[in-house]
Amino acid sequence: MKNNKLIRLLANVERREMSRFVEFVGSPFHNKREDVRRLVAYLSEVYPRFDEQTCDRQRLFRLLFPGEKHEQARLALVFTYTQRLLEQFLEWEAFQEEQAGPRTRLLKQLRRRRQYDLYEKELNKSRRQLQQTAYQTAAYHRLQYQLAAEADRYFAELGRHEHDDHIEDKQEQLDLYFLTEKLKDACEMVVRKRILKVSYSLHLLPHVLEEVRDRWNYYRQVPSVSVYFLLYRLLNGEPDISFDEIWTALQETQPYFPPEEQQLVYNYLQNYCIEQINRGQTPYLRKALEIYQTQLSKELIFVNDHLPEWHYKNIVTIGLRLRENQWVYDFIHHYRERLHPSVAENAYTFNLASFLYSTGRLGEVLELLHRVEYKDIRYYLGARSLLLRTYYDLEEYDALLSLSDAFQQFLQRNRLLADDRVQAFRNLLRFTKKAMILRERAPYLSKTRFGEEIDKLNRGIERTRVMINKDWLLQKVAEL
C-alpha cells in the first residue's frame, strides 16, 4: 500500500496538518461518508507509520466493513473519496495561507453589496496590516497592487470627481512586483545555464535592466528590486560590481526577506563562489565557507528541517580545500543526523571518503567509494574525480587510464551537462594523464629537459580557464 497515491500524500504532511485533516473530514459540510471518517481516523492513529503491516488491505477492509466479505473495489472507492478530500484539504490550506494578506475577496463582496461603511473599515485595516509587514518581497508588492486595484475600483464605482492616488499606487506596485519577479528569474536562468545545456529567451529583460539603471536612486531603496538587480549583475559577470558589494547589500536588506528567500539569495551567492573557485579564484573558498557557516548558524540552509545533501557535500569540499580538517570531521558527523534518512548513508559515505582522501588514508577511500550509489549524476561526477586523484596518488596508472577512458565516453554521451562543465572535467582528465606520463618518464629525462616539461605543463594548467580540481593538479605538478 505504500505506493498508493493517498498514502504517499499523507506521508508528506506534517502532524499538525494530519490533525486538521481529521477535523476537515469530520465536518458534514465537507464529507458525509462514515467509512471515510473511520479510515482517516485510523490513518491518523498510525501516522507516520504507513507500512505493509499498518496499511494491509485485508486489515483496512475489516476495520471499515467488519464481518463482511473482502471486496477490493469497495475499499478502492473509499480510498478514492479520501484522496479527493485530502486534495481539497490541501487546497484549503493553501487558500488560508494566501488569506494572511489583505482580504481583497471580502472587500469585493462588501463593495458589490454596497456596504460602504464596512468596506472602508476593512480597507483601512488592510492598509495598516500591510504597512506593518516586515518583509518586502515580490509577494508584498503583489498584495499592495491587489489592494490598490480594489480600492481604485471602489473609487471608480462611487463616481467621485476628485483626485485619488489609488490608480497611481496600483501602477507603482505592479511595476515593483514585475521588476522583482523578472530580476529574480533572470538570476535563476544564469545559474541554470551554468549547470545544464539550456538557453532562455530574455524578451523584456534588457528593458528591465535599463529601467533600474536609469532610476537607480529610486530602486536602490526597494529591497527586492535592488538585491536581485545587483545579484544578477554579479552572476552575469559584469566587471563594475563586486562580491563584497552584494554581500553588504544583503546584510543591510536581510530583515526585509523571509527565511526561505534569504536562503535563495545565499544559494545564488554560493553558486557564484563555486564558479569562481572552479575558475581558479581561490580567495572565494573562504567567502563560500563564510556563507555556509552563516546559513548554518541561522538555520537558513535546511529544507523541511533537513540539510540538503548537496550543501553537505559542498561544505565538506570547501572546508577540506581550506585545510579545516578538524572542523570538517566534526561537521560530517554532527550534521549526518540532519540529512534526510533516504540519502543520509550515501551522502555520509561519499563525504567521509573525501575527508579520508584529504588526510592521506587512500586505501579506505577506495573501499568507501565502492559503497556509494550513483543515482544522481553529481555523485557520479564527484566520485569519478575523487577516484582519479586517488589512483594518481597510489600510482595505479592502469586503473587511472581505464577510468579516464570510461569518464571521457560518459562526458561525450551526456547531453544535459553545460559545455563549460563538460570541458572542466575533460581538462582535468587531460592534464592528469599528462602529469602521470611525465612522472613515469622522470627517471629517463635530464634535469633540464624535465624542468622544461614541468614548466610547460604548469603553464598549460594555469592558462586553462575552466578545470575541476585545478588547485590539486597544480600542487601535484609542483611536487614533481
pLDDT, tens only, 248-307: 888 889 889 998 899 889 989 988 888 888 777 888 999 999 999 999 988 888 888 899
What's the CA gap between 141 and 167, in Å, rounded?
14
CB 25 within 8 A of CB 34: no
* pLDDT tens column, 96-132: 766 556 788 888 888 988 898 999 999 998 888 888 8
The closest of 319, 346, 321 to 331, measured between CA atoms, is: 319
pLDDT in tens, the chain (480 residues): 555 888 888 888 888 899 999 999 999 999 999 999 999 999 999 898 888 888 888 888 998 999 889 899 999 999 999 999 999 999 888 877 665 567 888 888 889 888 989 999 999 988 888 888 878 899 889 989 999 999 998 888 887 666 678 899 999 999 999 999 999 999 999 888 876 767 778 889 999 999 999 999 999 999 999 999 999 999 988 888 888 888 888 888 988 999 889 988 998 998 888 888 877 788 899 999 999 999 998 888 888 889 988 889 989 989 998 999 999 999 999 999 999 888 888 889 889 999 998 888 888 888 888 887 777 777 778 878 888 888 878 888 888 888 788 887 887 777 766 777 778 888 888 888 887 888 887 777 788 887 887 788 888 888 887 887 777 777 877 877
Q: How far is CA 404 from the centre of its chain?
A: 31
The closest of 460, 466, 464, 428 to 452, measured between CA atoms, is: 460
> Domain boundaries in the chain?
5-98, 104-179, 391-396+410-480
* Element spanning 75, H or E: helix 72-98
* pLDDT tens column, 326-365: 999 999 999 999 998 888 888 898 899 999 988 888 888 8
Residue 202: which residues within 8 A CB-CB, separation 6 or more? 186
Backbone angles phi, psi at 261, to 5 degrees: -80, -35
- pLDDT of res. 36: 93
**DSSP letter for each residue of 211-267:** HHHHTHHHHTTSHHHHHHHHHHHHHTT-TT--HHHHHHHHHHHGGGS-HHHHHHHHH
CB 120 within 8 A of CB 208: no
CB 245 within 8 A of CB 220: no
What's the CA gap between 378 and 357, in Å, rounded?
18
- pLDDT of res. 162: 65
- pLDDT of res. 38: 92
CB 118 within 8 A of CB 110: yes
**Residue 239 burial (10 A CB sphere; 0-12, 13-18, 19+):** exposed
Residue 438: which residues within 8 A CB-CB, separation 6 or more? 450, 453, 454, 457, 480
The pTM score is 0.67
- pLDDT of res. 211: 96
Query: How many residues does the structure list for the chain?
Result: 480
- pLDDT of res. 366: 83
- pLDDT of res. 23: 94
The closest of 269, 222, 262 to 241, measured between CA atoms, is: 269
Q: How many other CB atoms are found less than 10 A from the CB of residue 477?
A: 20
